[in-house]
Chains A and B, each alone.
Chain A
Amino acid sequence: MSFHNRIEGNEIIVFADTSLYSKDSIFKCLYWYGDKYHANVSFVDSNTYKISLKPMSDNLISAEQAEKLLQKLERDLLDFNLRDIVTKETKNIRDLLIAKAFSNGEFDELPPGELSDPVGFNVNEIKND
């Protein structure tokens, strides 16, 4: 079953595949619409979110504005999904980075790889006795 994004009267309706869009990204995106629109998210089936925006009563919009709004919402959903991917993929490295920044050396380590110097001996083998 396929769902088409559309404008129904004054309401903007967009569908998103649950395997492509994270729930977090949808809510983070809709946060920015909350001052002017009633935003709603629901499941139409287990694979599809239905997202709708309804202008608040003091914010009536024209057909042309509705068309633009639909476009903006589609684009913002994509953008926030990308942001969410970056945030989640980089969570650990970000934590490590900040822990290192505020630590006093306890998270420092030697750079990975072979350490050698131009004179040719391996510093890793030099022992301090």
Chain B
Amino acid sequence: MIDAKHERKTRKFKESDYYDLKKDGQYFLLPFRFHRITPEKEIIVNEVGDFLILPTGTCERIVKRQIDKKTDSELYGDLIANYFISEEIIPPLIDVLATRYRTKKLFLNHFTGLHIFVISLRCEHTCHYCQVSRVTQNRDKYDMPIDYIDKGIEIMFKSPNPHVTMEFQGGEALLAFDNIKHAVEKAESIAKEIGKGLTKVICTNLAIVTEEILEYCKEHEILISTSLDGPKFIHDSNRHKPHASSYELTIKGIELARKILGHDRVSALMTTTKLSLDYPVEIVDEYFNMGFQGIFLRNISPYGFALRTEKSRYDTEKFLTFYKKALDRILEYNFQGHYFTEDLARIFLIKMLSPFNVGFVDLQSPAGLINGVIVFNYDGGVYATDESRMLAEQKDFTFKLGTLDDSYNELFFGKKAQEIAEVWANESLAGCSECAFQPYCGADPVHNHATQGDMYGYRPNSDFCQKNMEIIRYLIELMESDKKIKNIFQGWARTVNH
């Protein structure tokens, strides 16, 4: 018979005591932050977004070195394995952790991907919350001239990103379809020549879409992104179209677009208005019944005309109540075996439950403006985000980086870009720097400026902060309360587009 102990010695494994580097029970802290999620529980989150949910008071015990390796062996093991504490001053696996950190910031690797061309400011709708559109036939004044389109394309292809996206917005983009065709064909030929990937998207309300337009989109692999605010009575009330039902035109348009382009080539975005807040279930049902795989519950932007109309003013508390009710309904569909997601939650969950991140303009740090997205306005102005050009319609040019006549360097690395860069990382913002949700959240200098009057922002009464903090906390609470929900959320987090 072989002596087990001896056998072990002939292998290269050491006795367990060998690994007990700190026999005196001391350990070193690694960077992490904590937040109370309920009166009974708190969360600790490390630099790469791994988290542990612990009974209230545990964080204090960790910091005071009261976690005992023997009596708290399970917790101790979890803290070591998840990089919250280390038995050595520099953890042996710090390079693994550094690689994971780099993975979380991978969205920075390629620089600007999304290039928005505001191809026309003209629109045939008169939506009450719309900040910018004009009902007019004046093409000369409100369509993007060919010259600017060409300059925009030239700048787009200067991006170091190996794959760029050009997105046409309006007004109603399809009113300038001839110009879109010019842009698409020109961009395609350059992309082919220099070997860059190119995705094309048209944002449209689909009211004036035709088979001919869609055939063209099919031929050129153009994606369609439309707007659907919910059932007919909500959509039509939000999106006023003289002498017609916007809803019926949108639904007809979605069906036709799916038939010609394929189901998955058509997506829809909703805008939440004061009216929507009373109908979370109906809105979710509309998206589900229309055969979408999910919905993005977005709150109304606080910019421009929207801020001034009483109809659109509501507070974040109400949005959060709406959000939670809608999420409940979405979970019901998932319990029944359907895969149907809420996309804001999905962004947070990918950051919480997967090794990856999602580049999403205001939910990343550094923020996605300039280094993720750039906007070329119809009049040649270049803006940091879509919201920035809406501010400009109110004569606020804070986020105007220059014009299409400027050089790439002036636009992307100029004084204005540098000024914005000072405040685009939540790691260094007051309030955010000690916030446990920092790896899941982001920074939004444009929103701060629009709602609080300065780019830096003030977290205690920021609606951006209030919304994100509560939604993240709520997602954790849901996962903790029900294993089934945790499984569903894990499923959502697995569908990463990285």
Interface residues of A (CB under 8 A from B): 28, 31-36, 78-80, 82-87, 89-90, 93-94, 96-98, 100-102, 107-108, 111-113, 116-118, 120
- Residues B6-64 near A (CB distance < 8 A): 11-12, 28-34, 36, 47, 59-60, 63
Nearest CB on B from A14, distance (A): 18
> Are A102 and B431 within 8 A (Cβ)?
no
> Are B95 and A108 within 8 A (Cβ)?
yes
Specify which of B29, B88, B98 is in contact with A97 (CB 8 Å cutoff): B98
Provide the residues of chain A in CB contact with B102, threshold 8 Å: 101-102
C-alpha gap A31/B30 in the complex (Å): 25
C-alpha gap A87/B30 in the complex (Å): 9
B81 beta carbon closer than 8 Å to chain A: no
7 A-B pairs with C-beta separation under 8 A: A85-B63, A86-B33, A89-B29, A90-B31, A112-B90, A116-B12, A120-B12
C-alpha gap A105/B159 in the complex (Å): 26
Provide the residues of chain B in CB contact with A86, threshold 8 Å: 29, 31-33, 63
Question: What would 10 more interface pairs be, CB under 8 Å, given A82-B34, A89-B29?
Answer: A32-B459, A34-B458, A79-B34, A82-B59, A83-B34, A93-B30, A93-B89, A96-B90, A98-B98, A101-B102
C-alpha gap A120/B32 in the complex (Å): 39
- Which of the four size classes fits the interface of chain B? 35 or more
Q: How many A-B residue pairs have CB under 8 A?
A: 86
Nearest CB on B from A47, distance (A): 21
C-alpha gap A79/B459 in the complex (Å): 18
Nearest CB on A from B378, distance (A): 38
Which residue of chain B lies nearest to A105 when distances are taken between CB atoms in the complex? B95
> Are B29 and A90 within 8 A (Cβ)?
yes
Nearest CB on B from A103, distance (A): 8
C-alpha gap A33/B458 in the complex (Å): 11
Nearest CB on B from A50, distance (A): 22
Provide the residues of chain B in CB contact with A80, threshold 8 Å: 434
Which residue of chain A lies nearest to B89 when distances are taken between CB atoms in the complex? A93
Specify which of B34, B94, B430, B461 is in contact with A96 (CB 8 Å cutoff): B94
Provide the residues of chain B in CB contact with A78, threshold 8 Å: 60
> Are A34 and B29 within 8 A (Cβ)?
no
Specify which of B30, B88, B101 is in contact with A90 (CB 8 Å cutoff): B30
> Are A28 and B31 within 8 A (Cβ)?
no
B407 beta carbon closer than 8 Å to chain A: no
Nearest CB on B from A74, distance (A): 14
> Are A97 and B101 within 8 A (Cβ)?
yes
> Are A97 and B94 within 8 A (Cβ)?
yes
Provide the residues of chain B in CB contact with A79, threshold 8 Å: 34, 36
B93 beta carbon closer than 8 Å to chain A: yes
Provide the residues of chain A in CB contact with B34, threshold 8 Å: 79, 82-83
> Are A34 and B63 within 8 A (Cβ)?
no
C-alpha gap A24/B431 in the complex (Å): 12
Task: Known A96-B90, A97-B31, A118-B12; judge A82-B98 contact (CB<8 A).
Answer: no
> Are A83 and B98 within 8 A (Cβ)?
no
C-alpha gap A32/B34 in the complex (Å): 16
Provide the residues of chain A in CB contact with B307, threshold 8 Å: none
Nearest CB on B from A48, distance (A): 22
> Are A31 and B97 within 8 A (Cβ)?
no
Which residue of chain A lies nearest to B108 when distances are taken between CB atoms in the complex? A102
Residue-wise interface mask of B (79-100) relative to A, using a CB-CB cutoff of 8 A (1 in contact, 0 not): 0000000001111111101110
C-alpha gap A113/B19 in the complex (Å): 11
Give 9 nearest A-B pairs by CB, closest first: A100-B98, A101-B101, A90-B31, A35-B460, A35-B461, A94-B31, A101-B102, A101-B98, A83-B434
Provide the residues of chain B in CB contact with A113, threshold 8 Å: 92
B232 beta carbon closer than 8 Å to chain A: no
